[in-house]
Amino acid sequence: MNKILTALSAGLFLLCGVYHGASAQTLPVKKFDIAPITSSSTAPSGVISLPTETEAEQAVSVQLIADTTAIEPGKPFRIGADFALAPGWHIYYQNPGDTGMPTSVDIKVPAGYQVVKVEWEKPAKFEENGFKTYGYTDKTVIAVTVLPPADLKPGDTVQFTAEISWLACKDSCIPGNTTGSITLPVAASSTAAHQDRFTAVGFTGDVDSLGTGTSVFDQDLKPNGEGNEQHGFLTALLFAFIGGIILNAMPCVLPVISLKIMRFVQEAGESRAKIVRLGLAYAAGTVSTCVSLAVAVIAAKALGYSVGWGFQFQEPMFLVGMATLLTVMSLGLFGVFFVQVNSGNQLDKLANRKGLAGAFFTGVVATILSTPCTAPFLGSAIGFAFAAPWYAIIAIFFAVGAGLAFPYVLLCLNPAWMKILPKPGVWMEHFKEAMGFVLLGSVIWLLYVLGRQTGPDGVAGTVGFLLAASFGTWLYNKLCGFDASKLKKVTLAVVALAIAGSTMYFLTWPSVKGTNWSALASGPTVANGVTWEKFSKEAVDKHLKDGKVVFLDFTAEWCQTCKFNEATVLASDAVTDAFKNNGVATLKADWTTSDPEITQLLAKFGRAGVPLYVVMSPHRPTAPTVLPTLLTKEMVLEAIENASRP
């Protein structure tokens, strides 16, 4: 009864008025002249415990923070109410439980802005005089995602007002409220801020699943299955090499592989020494690119970032760059332009020209395009690397690059094998042009992935840049002949760069760095009659507690191996029927954009990238089954059947 009176008294207090006028980030707490009735462990039964004015001021402090230094037009950002509580005190979650009062953060936004969602951290469970309640001690952040208009003008400033209220309890309960504001500038670009305070927000689980224990993922898991073998360093090196070889057969690399095959046909009549040099140059391109990726991983880990295999595809501007590169390469294959060098030699575009530089560049592109794919053997090797010291990371990435180049080096060392290839002829020109369309197909795929990250505006802005870059390239090569003066060449280069640069600055950059489309996506999706929930630890814990088998799909839109498995296995009638007939809870962990929690879970299962498939049994929750990188229907059905058995 005392707890109920506490809540009623708190509600009555909040109706009496709210403190106004705070403009600083650290907000003043209302001083109280009444106190709610509460039971006290230090007062006799039935005696009212009155908190002092000092307690009212010191129990809770709150300030407004933002996860960005500036507002970018059209790009969502978060404003957080950052609470700090005195020792022993707690405030309540949006669902306070049997008693208490929800903490409230009401952000007032200007016209044209939208409040997208309010996110909370995972609450703790309290037992208070026989009541179950949910809330926070020490500190917490309640984050409000705001979507600004796309037509904001850089240089303006925008003020946001927040009305915040709470009920803080210890031996007694004290309601509090305050009003404050935060002002942010509008800019074309921004940097992240207060990231450490926002990492824990986003709890979507059911409080009924909360217990005094930890999540199943926080326990000592003992995974089993073909996809979870653990290996030593030498075995990881071998697997990395074999995985690199297999990458040549994956769809990511096929566009560049086709160009390499054409080059072999052209080289068939060359001297053996020259062929060997070209093969080694190609290998140098693959290995150096892999080592460069390894160095980037080491640097990111040293700076505290969580990254994995294919992490560069989580950055929209990288996708724009790759789409531009492949578009320009396709123009070269269509014969739109030639590269002119000081010696006066006419060469095809870098990806199609003869010589060591062309072979090296082809190796670079092949390696970059291979990273969205994960081949058999490669997943466990890369997972080992990401958990190993820096020298092991470099060694294993080196082995991947060596494996990727190995078939071509082997062919170059045995020129007699090239006799099986067709003889050069007119057909090669047609084949070259056809390969231009293959590269444009890769551009379409990159635009699809970009659309999943940035929405239609980002795709439209990127297509505009591709058009501008293509026009600038065509303009330069059409008007700048081999006999053109140096001044004319420089002038045309400046004009071409100005066309592309202005398009990037005014159109592409604002649209690509605007709305984070994947961040706005929430809720379940339905595919072939199967409902796929958005992954969260709490959801998995609840399903296991309810006695359900759980199937986890760690995936990404840019992961072609993931898409292959989804289309051929997970979407098949046999597997979807098994999901439905066995009441399997299916959850999708989307790694299309960077997600530290998913990255950490991948590492927990010994992986550094997607895909990862895990089947969890309610009877053996700490012994999940990890499936191989490439799925078959039979292995999925068997894993579900085994997980369903007690």
Note the pLDDT tens digit of each residue in 440-471.
Answer: 988 998 999 999 888 888 999 999 999 999 99
Q: Give the number of other CB atoms < 10 A from CB of residue 390.
A: 14
17, burial (CB in 10 Å: exposed 0-12, middle 13-18, buried 19+):
exposed
Q: Is residue 560 scored above 90 in pLDDT?
A: no
Using a pLDDT cut of 90, give the percent of the chain over it.
35
Contacts of 364 (CB under 8 A, 6+ apart): 285, 286, 288, 289
Least confidently predicted of 220-224, 480-484, 497-501, 633-637: 480-484
Domains along the sequence of the chain with CATH: 2-203 (2.60.40.1250), 230-438 (no CATH), 519-644 (3.40.30.10)
Note the pLDDT tens digit of each residue in 582-626.
Answer: 999 999 999 988 888 888 888 888 888 889 999 999 999 989 999
Q: How far from 567 is each of 136, 183, 374, 530, 554, CA to CA, in Å?
A: 43, 48, 16, 14, 15
Using a pLDDT cut of 70, give the percent of the chain over it.
77
* Bigger pLDDT: 305 vs 39: 305
Q: Is residue 494 scored above 50 in pLDDT?
A: yes
In whole numbers, what is the pLDDT of the chain averaged over residues?
Answer: 80
225: region left, alpha or beta (phi > 0 left; psi from -120 to 50 alpha): left
Q: How far from 465 is each of 206, 472, 622, CA to CA, in Å?
A: 45, 10, 50
Please check whether residue 383 is in contact with residue 235, taking contact to mean a CB–CB distance below 8 angstroms.
Answer: no
What's the pLDDT band for 54 if we cut at 50, 70, 90?
low
Please check whether residue 400 is in contact with residue 392, taking contact to mean a CB–CB distance below 8 angstroms.
Answer: no
Please check whether residue 25 is in contact with residue 182, taking contact to mean a CB–CB distance below 8 angstroms.
Answer: yes
Q: Give the number of other CB atoms < 10 A from CB of residue 492.
A: 18
Rounded Cα distance between 453 and 515, Å, is 8
Q: What are phi and psi of 195, to 5 degrees?
A: -60, -30
Rounded Cα distance between 382 and 479, Å, is 48
Report the SS3 class of residue 252: coil
SS (H, E, C) 13-37: HHHCCCCCCCCCCEECCCCCCCCCC
**For 359, what's the count of Cα atoms within 13 Å in the CB-facing half-sphere?**
23
Peptide bond between residue 424 and the one before it cis (omega within 30 degrees of 0): no
| pLDDT of the residue at 257 | 64
Q: Which of 143-147, 389-393, 427-431 has the highest mean pLDDT?
A: 143-147
What's the pLDDT band for 45 if we cut at 50, 70, 90?
very low
Kind and range of the H or E run holding 483? none
Q: How many residues belong to the chain?
A: 646
Note the pLDDT tens digit of each residue in 290-316.
Answer: 999 889 888 877 776 666 677 788 889
Rounded Cα distance between 519 and 593, Å, is 9
Global pTM reads 0.58
Report the SS3 class of residue 272: helix
